[in-house]
Amino acid sequence: MADDLGDDWWENQPAGAASSPDASDGEGGNTEMMRQKTAPVPAMSKKTRQPKECFLIQPKETKEDVTKTRKRRKKKITDILAKSEPKPGTPEDLQELMKGYYSSNRSVIELEELNLPDSCFLKANDLTHSLSSYLKEICPKWVKLQRNHTEKKSVLMLIICSSAVRALELIRSMTAFKGDSKVMKLFAKHIKVQEQVKLLEKRVVHLGVGTPGRIKELVKQGGLNLNPLKFLVFDWNWRDQKLRRMMDIPEIRKEVFELLEMGVLSLCKSESLKLGLF
């Protein structure tokens, strides 16, 4: 009877059904077992497959992105000066910086009064001089001046620079000029202001080399009288490791202009004091 039903009957039977309508043993039963053994296993549906692990890939940085990042970076004074050629300072440079500094709190008329006459400026360094050769050029009668100077708590010449280390370098480099002149270090590093006041009171000093902040403090405390001063020289062209000149540093520039207001400008206008840019 199993043969009479044919293959269609087997295909329509659910899994686990009896081997025949009326028998579970015999030839028909063996045929059913063989069909179950040889029936192909259905493939796993795509819906039941395990999901694969997903990784987020960071987009590569393009040259355009790098260029935009570079453009956003604020330019520093070091970057600007590194691309510029060394250029000697001029009296006009000082005048322009003075106008820029005082313009925030001075009227137009007051700014005009700050203009210094050309006669108060010494010849500027053209970058070919050492300090000694420059000082000899701007002050050929130094030996006579320093012999006649007997007033304490004062100096004949002030050299203003940006740091104590630079001041020491300048003192060492002016040996050929100073001769037997008395030179004093006027900076704050390792030296208390009261010690400097006492030294100025005890002996005659011809040359002072230091920073504007300490010189300003000495003037304020009465330890240094500017009236006998004949020469004020700025260490204008020298650059530090960051390629900054003295007047490129905001703190130093501020102290310089505050010092100028403490009697220096009035001495320049009376032509008793000369300014030099080394």
Lowest mean pLDDT among 3-17, 126-140, 220-234, 242-256: 3-17
Secondary structure class of 97 (helix, strand, coil): helix
Angle at alpha carbon of residue 260, lines to 259 and 261, rounded to 5°: 90
Per the CB < 8 A criterion, the answer to whether 207 and 183 are in contact is yes
Residue 72 has pLDDT above 50, yes or no: yes
- pLDDT (0 to 100) of residue 172: 96
Q: Which residue has the tokens 């960071």?
A: 58
| Residue 208, burial from CB neighbour count under 10 angstroms (0-12, 13-18, 19+) | buried
- pLDDT (0 to 100) of residue 5: 47
Residue 7 has pLDDT above 60, yes or no: no
Residue 67 has pLDDT above 70, yes or no: no
What's the predicted TM-score (pTM) here?
A: 0.70
Residues 213-227: tens digit of each pLDDT = 999 999 999 999 999
Q: Which residue has the higher pLDDT, 1 or 128?
A: 128
Secondary structure class of 245 (helix, strand, coil): strand
What is the percentage of the chain residues whose pLDDT exceeds 90? Answer: 61
CATH architecture of 83-277: 3-Layer(aba) Sandwich (3.40)
What is the residue-averaged pLDDT of the chain? 82
Cβ-based neighbour number of residue 170 at 10 Å: 19
Which of the four pLDDT bands, split at 50, 70 and 90, describes residue 171? Answer: very high
Residue 276 has pLDDT above 90, yes or no: yes
